Chain A
Amino acid sequence: MRGVSLNVDEGAITCITGPNGAGKTTLFKTIMGLHIPYHGSIIFYDEDITVKPPRYRVMKGIAMSPDYRGIYANLTVKDNILLPLMTLGVPRSVREERLAEILKVFPELFTLLDRNGTQTSGGQQKMIAIARALILKPKLLLLDEPFEGLALPVQRRLQNILMEIRDKMRCTLLVAEPTISPFKGLCDHVFKIDRGVVYRG
């Protein structure tokens, strides 16, 4: 990553696009805390979180859905979704509440709840990953290639879901996709990233 200067508007959907290997995932990982940048800083709501560990950022309201899905095979789908709440020590009743809310957004996950993490298709795993990030009601949601592997109608539904999240939950979304043209209507702002440099698109 070389020259990244990014201002993300609160409450908007910002899309980051660029070829594979351009650095979208690295950018996201840095925002999430999995990479610490050599230079520069990350300011989140007036706070410098550049060197804070991921856990801190999760507590402050940043959540990420990775491009590789990252669903645990040794846990049930339900547990997978509830993991972030468990790590923050949220009591069981609240967890169940939040799960119910999430299921309203992704009703197709209801039948999958008791299955093992990997007894699901790639597209379903994608949705589980997004649901898992959402369950925290984050202020900033990082979605790395959320549309990859999803069937067209599902993609359209996801677009609507994301816009609803932006509107109803006052959440800021950062979406990374290699090609942004199918989702033009989704993005409020677009940035391009190429070989580690970001510029407006």
Chain B
Amino acid sequence: MVIEVKTLFTIIVNALVYTAILSLIAVGLNLILGVLRILNLAHGIVMALGAYLALSLTTLALERVGSIGSSLLQGALIIIVVLLLSGLLGGLLFAVITGYLMVRKLIHYEAIYVLLITYGIALVMEDVIKFIWGPKGYVIYGIYPLFGTVEIAGITYPGYYFILLATAFIVIASTYIFIDYTSIGKIVKAVASDRETAVMLGMRADMAYFIAFAVGCMLTGIGGAFTAPLLTLQPGFSLEFLLLAFIVVIITGLGEIRGIPIVAFIISLLRAITVTYVPELEMAIPFLLMMLVLAFRPQGLFGGR
């Protein structure tokens, strides 16, 4: 079987795009897992919120842009900003509505209890979204044209792909900087690592938890928002991403944010290859990888405390 250069590049580009989204979701998930030690079963909802909000807001924006007749560049910039905002808003909304409740409970009760709360929230929110936006599928038109096309090895790709890549990169890099180099980030790390000592030193654990939770949700919201133009939005679309994000998190290691883009890329690449040649096994490979990692290095590839 000869692999054409064209196919190779298509696989790589697709993998990269998928990596960008997966990284955003997985970093958000792992941040919440690492700091609050809860599995947010409603994480798919956060992504969906970001995506559906992006749907509504971009539709609004596109109408506005169309009627004013602004230039292509202006339109493109506006859309990028709108997408970012949708994601941030979606994440923040979710974090504020549910997070404060959960954080309070978390400090006093077992993690499993909070996990079940997230499950209840997931059930409720899924129907709320269905109620607001309806069960049918949506496709957002009008975004791709704003970003032009890029040609690599004879195949044209939407320019949007690269905007997505750039945005994801900037957002994730900012998160790293936030965690490692700002005072707040260090406080969050301290609370996550040893809460009692942190409290003894005067830190507010609930605030630290909430910040981590909010940031995690916002990242996921952005991931969802930027995914919206790529596919048909319908209830349950976030499942696949959520599942793979789970797997990425397990393979990278609980709470280890650093290695996520790398693992995400490996998974995305494997997935892209599998989808091209053996579509039925799409989900099997990442899962097998996860099993392997759990079997030989349960703390994750990058974990190890």
Contact = CB atoms under 8 A, between A and B. Distances in A.
Interface of A: 32, 34, 53-55, 57-59, 64, 66, 70, 72-75, 79, 83-84, 86-88, 132
Give the secondary structure class of A's interface. helix
Interface stretch (B88-96, B161-169, B201-209): B201-209
Contact of A34 (B187, B189, B193, B200): B200
A87 B202 contact: yes
A66 B305 CA distance: 22
Contacts of A75: 186, 189-190
A153 to B, nearest CB: 28
Bin chain B's interface residue count.
10 to 19
A83 B200 contact: no
Given A34-B196, A72-B190, 9 more contacts: A34-B200, A54-B202, A55-B204, A58-B202, A66-B200, A72-B193, A72-B197, A83-B201, A132-B201
B197 A74 contact: no
Contact of B199 (A54, A59, A74, A86): A54
A79 B198 CA distance: 13
B187 A32 contact: no
Given A79-B186, A86-B183, A72 B201 contact: no
B194 interface: yes
Contacts of B190: 72, 75, 83
A86 B201 CA distance: 10
A84 B201 CA distance: 6
Interface of B: 183, 186-187, 189-190, 193-194, 196-197, 199-204, 305
Contact of B305 (A34, A73, A79): A73
Contacts of B199: 34, 53-55
5 contacts: A54-B201, A55-B199, A74-B189, A75-B189, A132-B201
Given A70-B194, A72-B194, A73-B305, A54 B200 contact: yes
Contacts of A32: 200
B193 A58 contact: no
A137 to B, nearest CB: 14
Contacts of B200: 32, 34, 54, 64, 66, 70
A113 B92 CA distance: 37
Contacts of A88: 202
Contact of B202 (A55, A70, A79): A55
Nearest to A70: B197
Given A59-B202, A74-B193, A132-B201, A83 B305 contact: no
Contacts of A66: 197, 200
Contacts of A79: 186
A73 to B, nearest CB: 7
Most chain A Cβ neighbours within 10 Å, of B186, B193, B199: B186
A79 B183 CA distance: 9
A53 B107 CA distance: 14
A3 to B, nearest CB: 25
